[in-house]
Structure 1
Amino acid sequence: MTGTAGTPTAESGRWFHRPLPRPEARLRLVCAPYAGAGAGVFRPWAERLPADTELVAVRLPGRENRLREWVPPDWPSLARDFAAALDEHVASPYLLFGHSMGAMLVYETVVRPLARPPERVLLSGCRAPQVPRALPAIHDLPPDGFRAELGRLAGTPADVLADPRLMAMLDPMLRADIRLAETWSRPAPDPLPVPVTAFWGEDDDVAPPHAVAAWQALAPHGFRAHPLAGGHFFLHERARDLLGLLDDEITLCLAERRRSDGS
C-alpha cells in the first residue's frame, strides 16, 4: 500500500512508528536510532514534545516487526531506501534527528537528493565523517568478546546480553549495524544542504566532543551546538535536558518558518 506523505499505511508502518499520532501537527520530529536499537527507544518522547509536534520514530530493517528483514550491508542501499520512505510517508515540514549510527544515516540520506528535505538535521553523539573513529572496531570479535564490548558500551540491555538464545537471534543485526557504523568514513565529505544542530556528551569516548563539533565544517547553512553531561548514551542519561533542547529547536524552526512565510 502507498499513500500521500504522512499517511499511515502498511508500508509506512514498516519504516515509521507514530506513538501519538498528530495528523494536524505543524511539525514532525523524525528520529533515527543508534546501532541495534528500534523505534521503541523514542516512544517515551512522544508525550513530552510540544502539542503541535508529532514524533515519528524510525524503524530500521532487522528489528521489531522487521526482525526477519535483511539489513542492507552498505550505506548507499540503506540511505536510498530510507530516503524513499521519507519522501513518501513523512509530511513536511520536519526535523530529522539521529543518534550515533542514526546520525550517520541522517547524513547519508540528506546529502543524497530528497524531494522534500528536512528543515534542519539534528546530529547527536556522532563523529563527523572526516574524523576517524575513536575506539577499536568490535564488529568482527568472537561472540564472548562482542557481548563484553556491547555491555561496556551500555547500549544493549543487560538482560538481552545474558540471554544466549536472544543474542543468537539478534547477533547478525547487531554486527551489521555496528559494522556500518565502524567502517563509516568520508575523507572528503559533502557538505549538508540544510542547517545543522549537533549534540554531544561531555564524557563520550565513542564520539568525543571535538569529533562531534567537527560537523561545523560541513554546515554552510548554519550550525548550532549543545554539549550535555554524560557519556555516549546521554539521550537516556540526560533525556530531560535533551528534550528541553529539542523543544528549543522546534520553537526556533517554527519561528523561522513564520518569518520565511512572511506571517
Structure 2
Amino acid sequence: MTAGPAGSGRWFHRPLPRPEARLRLVCAPYAGAGAGVYRPWAERLPADTELLAVRLPGRENRLRERPAQDWPSLARDFAAAIEDQVASPYLLFGHSMGAMLVYETVVRPLARPPERVLLSGCRAPHVPRALPAIHELPPARFHAELGRLAGTPADVLAAPRLMAVLDPMLRADIRLAETWAHPAPDPLPVPVTAFWGADDDVAPPAAVGAWRALAPRGFRGHRIDGGHFFLHERARDLLGLIDDEITLCQAEPRRSNGS
C-alpha cells in the first residue's frame, strides 16, 4: 500500500470492518446516493468478505465538498483513494452512475486492478441513453422527474429546504450520468459481470448486455426481476448472485498487477 493522498479514507465507509477478510467488495453508488445505500449489505456478505461503500463528494460527511464536475478528475481521485485504502484482492461493484465510475476508473488503468468488475443497471458506454435528459430542467420539473425515476425518496423530495441543499449534488450527478458516452470505448482490462433489471427503462437489458463487447477477459450476465432500482426491490436476489460471484472469484486463479 502507498502513502496515498491526504484524506483518502473519506472515500470509504466500512460498516462492518473485517481487517482479516480474504476479499473486499467496493461498492459505488448511483446518482444522488451515498455510502448508506450499501450499509445493509455488510452483514449479508460472506464472513470472509469486507464491504467498502464508496462516499462521493457532495453528500453525507462530504456534504461541504463540491460535487464532481467531470469524469477524468473523479476517476483520478477515486483511483488514488483505492490505491491507498483498498487492499487486494477486491471486486468493484457499481450501480447505474456507480458502474460508469467503475468503468472510467478501471480503464485508466489502476496499478492494482480489481479481480473483476460488477456492473449493475448501467448501459455500456457506446449505447445511447434510453430516456431524455433532465439535468437542465427547472427545479419543479427536475424534482418531479427524480421522483418518477424512484431514486430519491419521497420524503426528501417533499422537504424544500433539504432539496435546496441537495439540488447541486443531484444535478451534478445526473449531468455526469446523462452526458456519459464513448462512441469507441476502450475494453475493460479485467473480467466483467453485468446485472440488468428485466423491466428497467433507464438501462434496458440489451443496453446492459452490450458490455459483453467490452469484456475480452470474460463476461457473465444476470437478469433480475424489477426496474432500474432492482438493487433495492430485489436485494436478496442480487446479493445471492454477488455471493456466487465472490465464490467464483475466490476459486479462480488470482490476478496480479493487471496480468
**TM-score tier (shorter):** over 0.9
Instruction: State the 4+ residue runs in structure 1 displaced beyond 2 angstroms.
Output: 4-7, 9-13, 257-260
Q: 3-state DSSP class of the match of 2:200?
A: coil
Identify the match of residue 70 of structure 1 among 55, 66, 69.
66
- Tell me whether 1:104 sits opposite 2:97 in the alignment: no
Cα offsets for 1:121-178 (capped at 9, x unmatched) = 0000000000000000000000000010000000000000000000000000000000
Q: Is the 8 A contact 2:193 2:220 kept in 1?
A: yes
Tell me the TM-score normalized by structure 1: 0.94
Distance 2:124 2:29 in 1: 17
Q: Tell me the equivalent position of 1:125.
A: 121
Give RMSD over aligned pairs. 1.7
Residue number in structure 2 paired with 1:145: 141
Query: Which residue number in structure 2 is paired with residue 86 of structure 1?
Result: 82
Contact 1:6–1:91 (CA under 8 A) maintained in structure 2: no
Cα gap change, 1:259/1:11 in structure 2, threshold over 3 Å: closer, same or farther?
A: closer
**Residue number among 145, 153, 156 corresponding to 2:152 in the alignment:** 156
* CA distance in 2 between partners of 1:233 and 1:204 (Å): 8
Q: What SS does the aligned partner of 1:257 have? A: coil
Residue of 2, 18, 22 corresponding to 2:18: 22
Residues 150-159 or 66-75, more deviating: 66-75
TM-score (norm 2): 0.96
CA contact 1:160–1:166 (8 Å) conserved in 2: yes
Instruction: Report what 1:230 is aligned to.
Output: 226
Aligned length: 256
- Look up the equivalent residue of 2:168 and give its one-letter code: P
2:28/2:98 contact within 8 Å kept: yes
In the alignment, which residue of structure 1 is the partner of 2:239? 243
Cross-structure match for 2:112:
116
Of 171, 174, 177, which aligns to 1:178? 174
Aligned residue for 2:253, secondary structure, equals helix
- Residue 136 (1) aligns with residue 132 (2): yes
| One-letter amino acid of the counterpart of residue 157, structure 2 | L
- 8 Å contact kept, 2:115–2:254: no
Kept after mapping to 2: 8 A contact 1:6/1:90: no
Deviation of 1:11 after TM superposition, in Å, equals 2.3
TM-superposed deviation, 1:115 = 1.1
